[in-house]
Amino acid sequence: MRILFLGDVVGKSGRRLVTETLKEFRLKYHVDFVVVNGDNAAHGFGLSLSVCRELFDCGADVITSGNHGWIAKEIQPILDQENRLLRPANYPDGTIGKGAGLYTLADGRKVGVIHLQGRVYMDAIENPFHVAKRWLEYVKLGKDVQAIVVDVHAEATSEKMALGQYLDGSVSLVVGSHTHIPTADAQILPKGTGYLTDAGMCGCFDSVIGMNKTEPIHRFLTNLACEKYSPEKGDATVCGVMVDTNDATGLCEKIYMIRYGGRLQESLPPL
């Protein structure tokens, strides 16, 4: 199975490039399943109903979020209804929405996706290691599903790497989101799990993590907020990761960094 994960979509420029190119990318590279992180997709902060529709219509099978994406009041009514929209699984019991799901492809193969949020420098919610392990007691790779994708929305690289090592062999891919900067450590871990510390963002890199650079620089210089952050509107780069998995075991056999458009050096798999 070939699975594509796209990092945090940031604002209109990132959203436009994803929506204009994802369908063609899926066809060109024979992608079976797509997960898109939409945490900053609407105006650089959160998700809206219209943005969700755009991302689903262009080829996303699942949209993950993070610490922003599902907070907006507009999106909350559909969190309990739309199985393809996930918030982090380690929020407390009773929180609206779902943190994991099982999805069936047209050919009958199944994919599990679990979305986790880190705790280092972030909210002190439930331990993501424990939540992932409990879910994996009921969803077995290579038996119940042909692949499992884990989106770890976290600040600390150490926390993401520790989760990758902890889940090695029990999932197909552990990929980090949230920091908006693509890391260069795409690898297959010793027991067969694909891993990348952060997929980066789908947004404009002539910016400060996707935002117009004027206000962030002002805040660093003065420690004072002058205006709200706003997404940069320049040419975007799509960043992500793609893996090929073995349907019998669910483990990763190949992993590819994905970058195209905008100002970052292009990285694409062979045709």
Domain ranges for the chain: 2-203+236-260
Give Cβ neighbours of residue 143 (< 8 Å, ≥ 6 apart): none
Tokens of 206: 């002539």
Residue 188's nearest CA partner among 162, 205, 163, 169 is 169
Burial class (CB in 10 A: 0-12, 13-18, 19+), 252: buried
Question: Identity (one letter) of the amino acid at 175?
Answer: V
**Beta-carbon-side half-sphere exposure of residue 176 (alpha carbons within 13 Å):** 28
Q: Is 68 a catalytic residue?
A: yes
Per-residue pLDDT of the chain (271 residues; tens, 9 = 90+): 999 999 999 999 999 999 999 999 999 999 999 999 999 998 878 898 999 999 999 999 999 999 987 877 888 888 989 999 999 999 999 999 999 999 999 999 999 999 999 999 998 999 999 999 999 999 999 999 999 999 999 999 999 999 999 999 999 999 999 999 999 999 999 999 999 999 999 999 999 999 999 999 999 999 998 888 999 999 999 999 999 999 999 999 999 999 999 999 999 999 8
How far apart CA 169 and CA 212 sit, in angstroms, is 40
Strand, helix or coil for residue 27: helix
In terms of C-beta distances under 8 Å and separation of at least 24 residues, what long-range contacts does 132-139 make, across chains too? 132/89, 132/163, 132/166, 132/167, 135/89, 135/100, 136/167, 136/170, 136/171, 139/100, 139/102, 139/112
pTM for the full predicted model: 0.96
pLDDT of residue 44: 78
Yes or no: domain 2-203+236-260 corresponds to CATH 3.40.50.10800: no
How far apart CA 195 and CA 190 sit, in angstroms, is 11
Q: Which of 30, 68, 115, 218 is catalytic?
A: 68
How far apart CA 61 and CA 126 sit, in angstroms, is 27
